[in-house]
Amino acid sequence: MSNLERIAKLSGFSKATVSRVLNHSPHVSQETRATILQIMKELDYVPNRNAISLSTGQTLQIGMITSSINEIMLPFLNGFVEVAEQHGFQTIIYTTNDDTSKERQAFEDLRQKRVDALVIISCVTSAKEVESYCKYGPIVSWQRMDNPAIGSVAMDQFKGYTLALDHLIPKGHTRIANALGRTYSINTRSRQQAYEQAMQKYNLPVLRQFYYPSTYTILDGERVMRAMLQQSEALPSAILCSNDHVAAGVLCEARRQHLRVPGDLAIVGFDDTELSHTLGITTIRNPIAAQAQNAFHLLSGPLRGIDMPQAELCFELIERTTT
Amino acid sequence: MSNLERIAKLSGFSKATVSRVLNHSPHVSQETRATILQIMKELDYVPNRNAISLSTGQTLQIGMITSSINEIMLPFLNGFVEVAEQHGFQTIIYTTNDDTSKERQAFEDLRQKRVDALVIISCVTSAKEVESYCKYGPIVSWQRMDNPAIGSVAMDQFKGYTLALDHLIPKGHTRIANALGRTYSINTRSRQQAYEQAMQKYNLPVLRQFYYPSTYTILDGERVMRAMLQQSEALPSAILCSNDHVAAGVLCEARRQHLRVPGDLAIVGFDDTELSHTLGITTIRNPIAAQAQNAFHLLSGPLRGIDMPQAELCFELIERTTT
DNA sequence: CTAAAGGATGAAACGCGTTACATGTCAAAT
DNA sequence: ATTTGACATGTAACGCGTTTCATCCTTTAG
């Protein structure tokens, strides 16, 4: 293996000069640079990343913590990977299955300098513990965190949800069900608040018996639909779903049960994924890729000393055939 | 920052002994170990990964090259990440969008020792060029490669496809369309061969006019369905799809066009994802997670000097409601 | 003509563990 | 009593760039 020292010896210059060539330092004469580059080429030399990282203290790697990789987070993941790459950073994914010990592994990797920063997509570690790792490097979260020390690019789901309600209620929907996500997440609480406030505002009943927690997938959506039908009470006239997948499940199962959509049941999804587009589900567009970019921009300050502006984001309702 | 040397000084032992403690060497007395661990704890010490990697020449990171992250590859990705993690390896994802220069970046990272090995999910770099990187570390491919130097865990799609045909033809289907994938991939060729051979065997027409290349998503499936209807010729009686998503698209569009499935058109998907389960699509189960494990096992030999057995894999037809 | 400024380059320390080899000790084997 | 060997621990080199500070030479300004 050829290393920098070897290049130095063969070229007759010092390691410092070779290093300068590698780093495009202006303080190298043209001829010197040419000579050294030539020798590097002949020896098929590439610098060792680990040595660079050890020296500089930077790995140019960012860790991404997520419970699992699924379709919902893909736009965020892809958006983040792309912008990070543009700035020379690579993304390492930590799939944790919501296991604290695996999450800790990711945080420890920040401490051990395997990664320069962390992006949290979902995590169950307490905000307090997460904060204790902030001193080792910047941490940004997609999920809203209780702790101001941790940057967040999550959008206030309250507004998105309110958008959906202001769309449904004027259409005459009074009894509205909710397929919710993670029970203790801020998003879920925010959505519940939006719902309960809207109901109060319009003087409508809050149907807590039609709250369905922990719904994430198509299958969960189907389960919710069946559960609604089995309830002793009459079917709600509309359902707000935590994401498009759940909405798709509800829709498929509703059709299978010969319900008319939106006649018997209106359905609203969330995220505006391809699936909702295909199935014609009304949904709330959540500018996820833009959030991912903001996440990287937030890290840019501490990481590269460059302050990048946060993009302005807002929700949008895409009306299709299910409302 | 406290480093190993500091621990050594404070404990009164040498760096070597401290290192032995870190690496659970048996040649350290109980008291010494206890003392050193105590000091490490007090100073909140963790070893620096970059230093370790530089010393050992191993990063315990494996790069994964993929065009993009999508639902089809998720089982592979998740399966691989899981087994790798169990053995102390982390996975770095390179999203390339089939851009050779981005792929080269991944290969260069192998050369520069940022990763110890590479797993290719999809890549457009020539087999010859890929091979030229084999000397820097083990490379395994999910996609079948033309080059024997590169390990592959892809299954012979020929068998899976034949399974589907042996299911359809006895049911009386004679005119069979094909929604295919990447035109020049070995999988696609293999599928075409399986189709053409089966057709010959049963003395049925090969409908090349009903080959639809480059279909990957639900939207592609819908497109295919519409294209079939627009063709001057009568509709085929069945269609084999490159994956469940395409099948789902075909199915949804078929329903929208008021076709009966399987009456007017039988549909077979591929991969047995949740989607096909939900929509009741007959599909070929492709043991993808097991393939991912095999991929890691293949890397285990060169990487850890441990030969791990390859699991035996085979396709299975899951009959549902679309055939 | 000289001092100040600037550019090219080198020496050496640094970042941080790992590991081959050497040394010293004490107990078991002969 | 002596050899053999296992065991605990230390020494020092190694892996490989980066970076600070110093040096030397050439301009340019005064």
pLDDT tens column, A251-292: 988 988 899 989 999 999 999 988 899 899 999 998 999 999
**Per-residue confidence (pLDDT) for residue A307, from 0 to 100:** 85
Residue the block writes with tokens 């004027």: A170
**Is the distance from CB of A17 to CB of A28 less than 8 angstroms?**
yes
Residues 188-207 of A with CB under 8 A from B: none
Query: CA A317 to CA A171: how far, in whole Å?
Result: 15
Give which of A149, A198, A151 is closest to A178, Cα–Cα: A198
Chain B: closest CA distance from residue A77 (Å): 9
Q: How far apart are CA B238 and CA B217, in angstroms?
A: 19
Chain B: residue whose CA lies nearest to A86 = B102
CA B199 and chain centroid, separation: 30
pLDDT of A186 reads 81
- Same domain assignment for residues B169 and B280: yes
- Does A318 fall in a domain? no
Do B202 and B251 share a domain, yes or no?
yes
Q: Do both B24 and B144 map to the same domain?
A: no
Domain count, chain A: 3
Return the pLDDT at A184.
84
Q: Element (H or E) spanning A268, and its range?
A: strand A266-270
Same domain flag for B165 and B257: yes
Q: How far apart are CA B129 and CA A82, in angstroms?
A: 25
Q: Which chain A residue lies closest to B47 (C-alpha atoms)?
A: A112
Sign of CA dihedral A270, A275, A279, A280: positive
pTM of the model: 0.80
Per-residue pLDDT, A207:
93
Q: What is the DSSP string of A129-171?
A: HHHHHGGGS-EEESS--S-TTSEE----HHHHHHHHHHHHGGG
Q: Within a domain: residue B54?
A: no
pLDDT at A274: 84
Residue A53 lies in a domain: no
Checking if the pLDDT of B71 tops 80, the result is no
Q: How far apart are CA B225 and CA B221, in angstroms?
A: 6
**Cβ <8 Å between B109 and A49:** yes
Q: Calculate mean pLDDT across residues A108-117.
A: 95
* Model pLDDT, residue A155: 82
Q: Specify if A209 maps to a domain.
A: yes
Residues A179 and A251 in one domain: yes
Whether residue B232 sits in one domain with residue B84: no
Percentage of residues in chain A having pLDDT higher than 90: 71
The pLDDT, as a whole number, for residue B105 is 92
Give contacts of B95 with chain A, Cβ < 8 Å. Answer: 78, 81-82, 85
- Where in the sequence is the domain holding B139, given as residue range(s)? 59-154+289-311
Q: Which chain B residues have a beta carbon less than 8 Å from that of A219? A: 274, 277-278
Q: Which of these, B197, B212, B213, lies nearest to B159 by C-alpha position?
A: B197
Touching A: B residues 213-242, CB under 8 Å = 217-219, 222
Task: Examine the domain organization and report whether B82 and B195 are in the same domain.
Answer: no
Identify which has the larger pLDDT, B95 or A149.
B95
What is the distance between the alpha carbons of residues B64 and B49, in angstroms, rounded to a whole number? 21
Q: Do B165 and B242 belong to one domain? A: yes
Same domain for A193 and A103: no
How do residues A162-195 score in pLDDT, each as one tens digit? 999 999 999 999 999 999 998 888 889 999 999 9
Answer for B28: CB within 7 Å of strand D. Answer: yes
What pLDDT, in 10s, does the model give residues B230-288?
999 999 999 999 999 999 999 988 988 899 989 999 999 999 988 899 899 999 998 99
- Per-residue pLDDT tens for A4-27? 999 999 999 999 999 999 999 888
Q: Is A58 on the interface with B (CB under 8 A)?
A: no
pLDDT at B175 over 90: yes
Is there a domain that residue A144 lies in?
yes
* The nucleotide closest to A55 (CA, C1' atoms): C15
Angle CA(A17)–CA(A22)–CA(A28) in degrees, nearest 5?
A: 40
CA quadruple B301, B304, B305, B307: dihedral positive or negative?
negative
Q: How many angstroms separate the CA atoms of A104 and A110, rounded?
A: 10
**Tokens matching residue B128:** 């010859």
Cβ neighbours for B163, distance < 8 A, ≥ 6 positions apart = B284, B315, B316, B317
Q: What's B34's domain CATH number?
A: 1.10.260.40
Q: Which nucleotides of C are covered by protein (CB under 7 A)?
A: 7-20
Find the farthest-apart pair of alpha carbons in chain B and give their distance in angstroms, rounded: 88
Residue B277: give its domain's CATH number.
3.40.50.2300
Which of B's residues 171-190 have CB atoms within 7 A of nucleic strand C? Answer: none
Would you call B275 an interface residue with chain A, using a CB distance cutoff of 8 Å?
Answer: yes
Looking at the fold, whether B192 and B212 belong to one and the same domain comes out as yes
CB contact under 8 A, B219 and A278: yes
Q: Given the structure tokens 């660079």, which residue do they identify?
A: A52
A272, A217: one domain: yes
For strand D, the positions having any atom within 7 A of a protein Cβ are 7-20
Q: Which nucleotide is nearest to A50 (CA to C1')?
A: D16
Q: Are B191 and B260 in the same domain? A: yes
| C-alpha distances out from residue A308 to A141, A169, A199, A305, Å | 17, 40, 40, 9
Assigned domain for B86 exists: yes
The CA-atom distances, in angstroms, between B210 and each of A260, B59, B126 are: 35, 49, 29
Q: Order of strands across the sheet with B282-285?
A: B211-212, B176-179, B238-241, B266-270, B282-285, B316-318
- CA A203 to mean position of chain CA atoms: 36
B17 is near strand D: CB distance < 7 Å = yes
Q: How far is A202 from chain B (nearest CA, A)?
A: 37
Q: What is the pLDDT of residues B299-322, one digit of tens each?
A: 988 888 888 888 888 999 999 999
Q: What is the dihedral of CA A165, A167, A168, A174, to 10 degrees?
A: 60
Q: B3, B43, B48, B49: which to substitute to probe chain A, counting the most A Cβ within 10 Å?
A: B49
State whether the beta carbon of B22 lies below 7 angstroms from any atom of strand C: yes
Per-residue pLDDT tens digits for A53-85: 999 999 999 999 999 887 778 889 989 999 999
